[in-house]
Amino acid sequence: MLRFELGNSQSPRGHAILFARVSGSDRIVATYCVVLPIQFSIGKYLPPMFAGQFPADALNEGTTPVNAMPIPPMFEDAASLDVLRQLAERRDDDLCDLGTLVLSDDNARLQFAAEGSAEYGELYGSYQTRWPDVAAVAESTPLDDLDVEDLLASVLPERDRLAEIAKMIGQARYAMESGDRRALDRVAADMRRVARPLPEKYRADQLIEAALRADATGPTLAGLYLQRAYKILDEDYMSIPPLDAQIRALRDQGAEEESSDDTTPGASDMPDRPDAQ
């Protein structure tokens, strides 16, 4: 019977280091057991020399397929239990003890490895039966409900996405200059849809924010963000720091201008005149 040194017999991970002590010696033997996520009839692929370690019904097509197998197919000598424990901890494997075995020959090594794997597979199968059910057929989306533009945007390569955003920056600027609020909202939504799948490294949100600024700094800042995105795409990392410096300078300049506008003294802010003597 398997005893879990690491892991839980009620919720096996599906992969485990199985080990045993050899009777009459200090030797430790081990193998690695994997519960196969895709079942198949192993009789189609198994060389004759390994057939003895599997039940006869598992080797025949149309029968219950083997769901767990030892790799290597027989117990092999291990350095020590401490080494196996460290391996299991680092790899997030279960570590299972089969106790003390009498290994008279290679056939015994094969047999015990197969029996240990079968027991581990049964424990995993029992655990799997407690999983919540998964719907057999996913609900499909009617074609009429699909957004064609979203569908097309989802398959664009990153370079094409950046090219689309560059084109939309010009459209957004034209809409702002002509005072067409509806066109500006539509272009802004299109930019966000195209940019949504881009990784954070491209800073697409900041690019769009800059492109939608109504002040004179907006186009320059958006252009810098776009250049930066292309440099990232081309892996031209040496060119990134100068662009970042220019972006910071423009953003700081904009922040200072806003602060200056907010603190311009009005009539009530003017200092009081000294009383006439």
Structure tokens at 120: 């581990």
Domain boundary among 128, 162, 196: 128
Does residue 91 lie within any of the structural domains? yes
Contact 78, 22 (CB under 8 A): no
Q: Measured between alpha carbons, how far is 245 from 252 in angstroms, rounded to an integer?
A: 11
Alpha-carbon distance 238 to 231, whole Å? Answer: 9
State which residues of the chain have pLDDT below 50: 61-64, 137-138, 141, 143-146, 264-277
Clarify whether residues 160 and 221 are in a common domain.
yes
Considering the domain architecture, whether residues 115 and 178 belong to the same structural domain is answered as no
Q: Which two tokens stand for residue 220?
A: 């320059």
Phi/psi at 169 (5° precision): -60, -45
What is the rounded distance in angstroms from the CA atom of residue 267 to the CA atom of residue 272? 10
Q: Would 267 be classed as within a structural domain?
A: no
What pTM, to 2 d.p., does this model score? Answer: 0.45
Q: Would residue 271 count as lying in a domain? A: no
Domain boundaries, position 62? 3-128
Residue 214 located in a structural domain = yes
Residues 174 and 250 in one domain: yes
Residues 176 and 106 in one domain: no
User: What is the pLDDT at residue 197?
Assistant: 87
Residue 139 falls inside a structural domain: no
Q: Are residues 164 and 60 in the same domain?
A: no
Q: Residue 50: its pLDDT value, please?
A: 61
Q: Is residue 273 part of a domain?
A: no
Q: Are residues 165 and 109 in the same domain?
A: no
From CA 232, how far away is CA 201, in angstroms rounded?
8
Number of domains in the chain: 2
Q: Are residues 42 and 115 in the same domain?
A: yes
In a domain, 224, yes or no: yes
Query: Is 274 inside a domain boundary?
Result: no
Residues 9, 104 share a domain: yes
Q: Are residues 77 and 20 in the same domain?
A: yes
